[in-house]
Amino acid sequence: MPRKIRELLHELERAGFVNRGGKGSHRNFKHPMGVRITLSGQLSEDAKPYQERAVKKALEEVKHETE
């Protein structure tokens, strides 16, 4: 069962990403280390597989830079 967009957003915020705004349903997040990611969709929608992969990759990049 896919996760919801809101779950991905909470995961990014817990990792230190800041919502920089966006147009429409798009949200642009930036981490202080320079990693950027854009997510689209309403909070209650199911996340698409590519969105889950993108969030996982962004979180791994931040994790590797802090180690």
Pull the structure tokens for residue 54: 């993108």
Q: What is the pLDDT of residue 1?
A: 86
Q: Are the CB atoms for 36 and 62 separated by under 8 Å?
A: no
Residue 65, pLDDT above cutoff 90: no
pLDDT in tens, 1-10: 889 999 999 9
Pull the structure tokens for residue 10: 């909470």
